[in-house]
């Protein structure tokens, strides 16, 4: 956690304990105390802080207005707002009236305050990084996990659904979203069974999992098998017997679309040529093209050590 976080402390007419700002500054934070709530939003608009602390030892309409203004603004609503509330009042506090993200008790415990600030920011990062559809970690976490795997006996595996776009076009987004959720669950479960690893969702029908290299092929095959078993339920008996379903292109011409499968590109990360995240993505893109040429689900391993 960087120490240059900018924190605004908001108080009502009675002011706030000056020690709050001093304790934050001693931690390396940039702390600004505002005792005129009417000026808070202007300052936030001009220079958004990382966290807002609100002294609610004497809550009033001005402080309530500040909190609601922040939480009702689609852009600034993501800034964590932590209330400072006297311990006796916390249990009966009206959380609906004051939509806070967290609170700390007064009299203030500095260690608790620092912890609450850290946890609020970490929670915010997780919420924004996770894919809202599958709840799997997103691009920031994926990049970090890949960077940690480079140079170790691990394998970064990219997963892609064959013919997903056509399925989405024919059967609709609701069914398409269910397919993505299904693959996300299958992949996450397969990684958990491996005992060690990571599963993430890049976006659309692109996923990533990372497992020890010696388990990569087994996990990939498990995902392929489980996806095939569940995906077959998405099609009727005739389509399954034929191995395709009928769609129409933009000109109205009939097309035979193969049933969905998955392509997996496996990139071992202990190779000298794999030095950074970008190289992993480059090699995976090559392998994925090969895997998608197969009429069946398959995985392709980079064995060019």
Q: pLDDT digit string (tens) for 245-267?
A: 988 877 778 889 999 999 999 99
pLDDT digits (tens, 9 = 90+) for 50-87: 999 999 988 888 899 999 988 888 678 888 999 999 98
Neighbour order of strands in the sheet with 261-268: 198-203, 206-212, 154-162, 261-268, 298-301
Q: Which pTM does this prediction carry?
A: 0.69
- Distance (Å, whole) CA 122 – CA 129: 11
Q: Where are the domains of the chain?
A: 6-128, 139-301
pLDDT of residue 220: 97
DSSP lists the bridge partners of residue 201 as 207
Q: Does the bond joining 107 to the residue before it have cis omega, within 30 degrees of 0?
A: yes
DSSP lists the bridge partners of residue 55 as 84
- Distance (Å, whole) CA 199 – CA 203: 13
- Token pair, residue 169, equals 């076009």
- Distance (Å, whole) CA 188 – CA 197: 9
Domain 139-301 in CATH 3.60.15.10? The answer is no
- Distance (Å, whole) CA 238 – CA 167: 16
pLDDT of residue 271: 87
Please state whether 274 falls in left (phi above 0), alpha (psi between -120 and 50) or beta: beta
- Distance (Å, whole) CA 221 – CA 190: 10
**What's the CATH fold of domain 6-128?**
Rossmann fold (3.40.50)
CA atoms within 13 A on the CB side of 73: 16
Three-state SS for 254? strand
What integer is the mean pLDDT of 114-124? 91
pLDDT digits (tens, 9 = 90+) for 164-197: 999 998 999 999 999 999 999 999 999 999 988 9
DSSP assignment string, 209-249: EEEEGGGHHHHHHHHHHHHHHHHGGGS-HHHHHHTEEEEE-
- Distance (Å, whole) CA 125 – CA 187: 23
Q: Which residues, at least 6 apart from 261, have a Cβ–Cβ distance to it below 8 Å?
A: 161, 162, 163, 224, 227, 228, 231, 296, 297
- Token pair, residue 303, equals 């064995």
- Token pair, residue 266, equals 């496996």
pLDDT of residue 1: 45
- Distance (Å, whole) CA 213 – CA 141: 20
- Distance (Å, whole) CA 100 – CA 53: 10
pLDDT band at 15 (very low <50, low <70, confident <90, very high): low
With both helix axes pointing from N to C terminus, report the angle between 139-149 and 277-293 in degrees, rounded to the nearest 10.
100
For residues 218, 220, 222, 223, the Cα torsion angle rounded to the nearest 10 degrees is 170
């Amino acid at each position: 956690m960087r120490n240059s976080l900018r924190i605004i402390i908001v108080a009502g007419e009675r002011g706030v304990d000056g020690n709050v700002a001093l304790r934050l500054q001693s931690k390396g934070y940039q702390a600004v105390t505002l005792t005129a709530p009417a000026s808070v939003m202007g300052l936030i608009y001009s220079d958004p802080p990382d966290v807002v602390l609100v002294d609610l030892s004497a809550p009033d309409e001005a402080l309530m207005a500040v909190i609601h203004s922040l939480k009702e603004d689609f852009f600034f609503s993501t800034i964590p707002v932590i209330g400072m509330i006297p311990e006796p009042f916390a249990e009966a506090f009206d959380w609906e009236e004051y939509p806070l993200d967290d609170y700390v008790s007064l009299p203030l415990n500095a260690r608790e305050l620092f912890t609450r600030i850290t946890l609020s920011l970490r929670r915010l990062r997780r919420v924004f990084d996770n894919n809202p559809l599958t709840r799997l970690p997103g691009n920031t976490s994926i990049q970090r996990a890949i960077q940690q795997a480079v140079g170790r006996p691990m394998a970064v595996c990219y997963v892609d659904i064959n013919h997903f776009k056509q399925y989405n076009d024919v059967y609709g987004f609701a069914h398409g979203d269910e397919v993505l959720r299904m693959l996300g669950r299958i992949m996450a479960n397969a990684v958990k069974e491996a005992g060690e690893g990571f599963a993430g969702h890049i976006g659309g029908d692109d996923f990533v999992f990372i497992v020890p290299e010696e388990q990569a092929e087994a996990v990939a095959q498990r995902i392929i098998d489980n996806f095939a078993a569940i995906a077959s339920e998405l099609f009727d008996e005739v389509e399954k017997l034929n191995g395709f379903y009928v769609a129409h292109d933009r000109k109205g011409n009939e097309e035979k679309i193969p049933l969905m499968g998955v392509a997996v590109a496996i990139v071992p990360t202990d190779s000298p040529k794999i030095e950074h995240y970008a190289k992993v993505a480059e090699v995976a893109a090559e392998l994925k093209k090969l895997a998608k040429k197969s009429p069946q689900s398959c995985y392709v391993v980079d064995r060019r050590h």
